Amino acid sequence: QLQLQESGSGLVRPSQTLSLTCTVSGASISSDTYSWSWIRQPPGKALEWIGYFSQIGRAYYNPSLQSRVTISVDRSKNQLSLKLNSVSAADTAFYFCARVFDDYADNWGQGTLVTVSS
């Protein structure tokens, strides 16, 4: 059974870098069928797509975050990672990783709350 589990720091200081890892079990992150995505949701607000790592090994980002975000894959650990630098309070959100097929997310992690505060 496919499981995705986010982990990382729950509290980040303003201007620092947010780092999260998504550990995938029950499927290979190297699959040529799926891509792997990060999506976030500020508390009480709507979902925002951050970006994804595609089957062909390329990363695609939301232009609104492109200058600050890096998504990568560690195939040896079956993990997806997210780095978002120069964070501010506006980056406080629940962060979800998800498996994506044909640009819809068919499996999600439970999500992790990241708070940006000094």
Answer whether 19's CB lies under 8 Å from 31's CB: no
Give the tokens for residue 3.
Answer: 């499981």
Of 1, 67, 104, 117, the residue at the interface with another protein (CB under 8 A) is 104
Beta-strand ranges (E) seen in the chain are 3-8, 11-12, 18-25, 35-41, 48-53, 59-61, 69-74, 79-84, 93-101, 104-108, 112-116
Residues 79-98 interacting with another protein (rule: CB under 8 A): 96
The nearer residue to another protein, 38 or 81, going by C-beta atoms, is 38
Of 14, 60, 85, 89, the residue at the interface with another protein (CB under 8 A) is 60
Q: Is 110 in the site for another protein (CB under 8 A)?
A: yes
Q: Is 67 in the site for another protein (CB under 8 A)?
A: no
Give the tokens for residue 62.
Answer: 């939301």
Of 49, 73, 84, 87, the residue at the interface with another protein (CB under 8 A) is 49
